[in-house]
Amino acid sequence: MKMKYIMLMAAGLACSTIVKAQKPENIIAAVGSPSNPRVPISWNRYYDYTALTELCKKLAQAHPDLIKLGSMGKSFAGKDLWVMTITDHKVGNPDQKPAMYIDGNIHSNEIQGAEFALYTAWYLAEMFQQGNAAVKTLLAEKTFYIAPTINPDARDNFIHKANSAHSPRSGLLPIDNDRDGALNEDGFDDLDGDGHIVMMRRKNISGRFKADATDPRRMIMVGADEQGEYELLGQEGTDNDGDGLVNEDGEGFYDPNRDWGWNWQPNYVQSGAYKYPFSIPENRAVAEFVLKHPNIAAAQSYHNNGGMILRGPGAIEDVDTYNALDARVYDALGKKGEELLPGYRYLVVYKDMYSVFGGELDWFYGGRGIYTFSNELWTNYSLYNKTEPDNNLAQAQQYTFDKDLLMRDAFIDWHPLKHPQYGDIEVGGFKKTYSRLHPGFLLESDAHRNMAFSVYHAYHMPKLQVTELEVKDLGAGLSQVTAVVANERMIPTHSSQDIKNSIEIPDVVSLSGGTAIAAMIVNNRDLNITTEQKRDVANIKVDNIPGNAYVTVRWIVKGGTKFTVNVSSKKGGQASKTN
Summarize pLDDT for 316-334 with one digit per residue, the tens.
999 999 989 999 999 999 9
Q: pLDDT of 186-224, one tens digit each?
A: 567 899 999 999 999 999 999 999 999 999 999 999 998
Residue from 490, 565, 573 nearest 141 by CA? 573
Asked if 361 contacts 312 with a C-beta cutoff of 8 angstroms, the reply is yes
CATH T-level assignment (fold) for domain 464-578: Immunoglobulin-like (2.60.40)
Q: Is residue 141 classed as helix, strand or coil in its secondary structure? A: helix
Give the pairing of strands 296-304 and 371-377. parallel
- The secondary element (H helix, E strand) that includes residue 99 is strand 99-104
Confidence at residue 389, expressed as pLDDT on a 0 to 100 scale? 73
Round to whole Å and give the CA distance between 365 and 491. 13
Within 8 A by CB and 6+ apart from 556, the residues are 474, 478, 479, 480, 481, 516, 517, 518, 519
When mean pLDDT is compared across 234-238, 548-552, 572-576, the lowest value belongs to 234-238
For residue 101, CA distances in Å to 48, 86, 405, 524 come to 22, 10, 35, 37
Confidence at residue 253, expressed as pLDDT on a 0 to 100 scale? 67
pLDDT of residue 229 exceeding 70? yes
- The top-level CATH class assigned to 2-157+255-378+439-459 is alpha beta
Q: Report the 3 state secondary structure along 185-205.
A: CCECCCCCCCCECCEEEEECC
Half-sphere exposure of 435 (CA within 13 A, CB side): 16
Round to whole Å and give the CA distance between 540 and 530. 13
Q: How confident is the model at residue 169 (pLDDT cuts 50, 70, 90)?
A: confident
Q: How confident is the model at residue 387 (pLDDT cuts 50, 70, 90)?
A: confident
Q: pLDDT of 136-150, one tens digit each?
A: 999 999 999 999 999
pLDDT of residue 1 exceeding 70? no
Q: pLDDT higher for 177 or 94?
A: 94
pLDDT of residue 361 exceeding 60? yes
Residue from 435, 449, 364 nearest 109 by CA? 435
Q: pLDDT of 51-67, one tens digit each?
A: 999 999 999 999 999 99
Within 8 A by CB and 6+ apart from 324, the residues are none
pLDDT of residue 427 exceeding 60? yes
Q: What is the mean pLDDT of residues 514-529?
A: 96
Q: pLDDT of 110-122, one tens digit each?
A: 999 999 999 999 9
- The domain locations on the chain are 2-157+255-378+439-459, 174-251+381-430, 464-578
- Spell out a b/e string for 552-568, using b for 16 or more CB atoms within 10 Å of the CB, else e: bbbbbbeebeebebbbb
- Spell out a b/e string for 490-511, using b for 16 or more CB atoms within 10 Å of the CB, else e: bbbbbbbbbbeeebbebbbbbb
Give the pairing of strands 99-104 and 296-304. parallel
Q: pLDDT of 460-511, one tens digit each?
A: 999 999 999 999 999 999 999 999 999 999 999 999 999 999 999 999 999 9
Q: Which residues are catalytic?
A: 376
pLDDT of residue 86 exceeding 70? yes
Q: How confident is the model at residue 14 (pLDDT cuts 50, 70, 90)?
A: very low
Q: Is residue 261 classed as helix, strand or coil in its secondary structure? A: coil
Cα 527 off chain centre by? 47
Give me the percent of the chain exceeding a pLDDT of 70: 92
DSSP 276: S
How many C-beta neighbours within 10 Å does residue 114 have? 25
Round to whole Å and give the CA distance between 183 and 248. 11
For residue 185, CA distances in Å to 170, 190, 255, 417 come to 15, 15, 18, 23
Asked whether the domain spanning 464-578 has the same topology as the one spanning 2-157+255-378+439-459, the reply is no
Quote the strand ranges of 237-344, DSSP E.
Answer: 296-304, 308-311
How confident is the prediction for the chain on average, in pLDDT?
A: 92
Please indicate, yes or no, whether the overall pTM of this predicted structure exceeds 0.75: yes
Q: How confident is the model at residue 183 (pLDDT cuts 50, 70, 90)?
A: very low
